[in-house]
């Protein structure tokens, strides 16, 4: 599966999970420290809009709806279109707090972020959080190159510091551990 298809698959996984949500889920805690399901959804919408704006070199759009599931669906369609535009993968774009990045790096970052947030959402609402092996393996391979610098990992950064996970653990556990989540959350 190519990078653009990997990204779209992570978005579709989130959309499927969001379709299962009801009002009672919104206040549940998530593995993202300090975030409820509502705050996770809001982040996914805002982040996806920011990625779209970066590659299009425009201002960040406002969410399309107050309903975060609808807003995310609209944002995912826009980012998919933006990422698939001619030359985007090779062209550099400015991403807030991360400087100039090649389009390929932006798509990879968006893919990893959305895939791991699908795990977060699954854990929060109590459904099977095992990620598709192909998606998790691709995200794990890409994530191994993320530095442990303060702009990438730690308080206020995109990811937390890695959590120790056995090398023979399932790929989902290794991926989420690499990105600072305990595979045993909420334990």
Residue 136: pLDDT over 90? yes
Which positions ≥6 away from 65 have C-beta within 8 Å?
71, 74
Whether the full predicted model's pTM is greater than 0.85, yes or no, is yes
User: pLDDT tens digits for 105-119?
Assistant: 999 999 999 999 999
Residue 132: pLDDT over 90? yes
**pLDDT band for position 179 (cuts 50, 70, 90):** very high
Which domains are seen in the chain, by residue range?
3-129 (1.20.120.450)
Would you give the DSSP letter of residue 24? G
Which positions ≥6 away from 184 have C-beta within 8 Å?
none
For the beta carbon of residue 168, count every other beta carbon within 10 angstroms. 7
Residue 33: pLDDT over 90? no
**Structure confidence at residue 149 (pLDDT):** 80
**Structure confidence at residue 152 (pLDDT):** 78
**pLDDT band for position 71 (cuts 50, 70, 90):** very high
d(CA 117, CA 94): 23
**pLDDT band for position 99 (cuts 50, 70, 90):** confident
Mean pLDDT (the chain, rounded): 94
In the predicted model, what is the mean pLDDT of residues 43-54?
96
d(CA 6, CA 158): 20
């Amino acid at each position: 599966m190519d990078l653009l298809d990997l990204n779209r698959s992570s978005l579709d996984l989130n959309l499927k999970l969001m379709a299962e949500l009801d009002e009672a889920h919104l206040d549940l805690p998530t593995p993202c420290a300090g975030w409820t399901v509502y705050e996770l959804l809001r982040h996914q919408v805002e982040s996806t809009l920011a990625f779209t704006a970066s590659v299009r070199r425009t201002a960040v759009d406002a969410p399309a709806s107050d309903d975060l599931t609808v807003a995310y669906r609209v944002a995912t369609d826009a980012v998919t279109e933006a990422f698939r535009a001619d030359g985007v993968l090779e062209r550099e774009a400015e991403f807030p707090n991360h400087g100039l990045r090649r389009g390929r790096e932006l798509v990879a970052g968006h893919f990893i972020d959305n895939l791991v947030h699908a795990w977060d959402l699954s854990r929060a609402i109590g459904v099977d959080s095992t990620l598709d092996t192909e998606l998790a393996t691709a995200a794990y391979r890409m994530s191994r190159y993320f530095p442990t610098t303060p702009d990438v990992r730690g308080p206020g950064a995109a990811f937390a510091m890695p959590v120790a996970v056995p090398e023979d653990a399932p790929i989902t556990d290794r991926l989420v551990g690499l990105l600072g989540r305990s595979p045993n959350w909420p334990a």
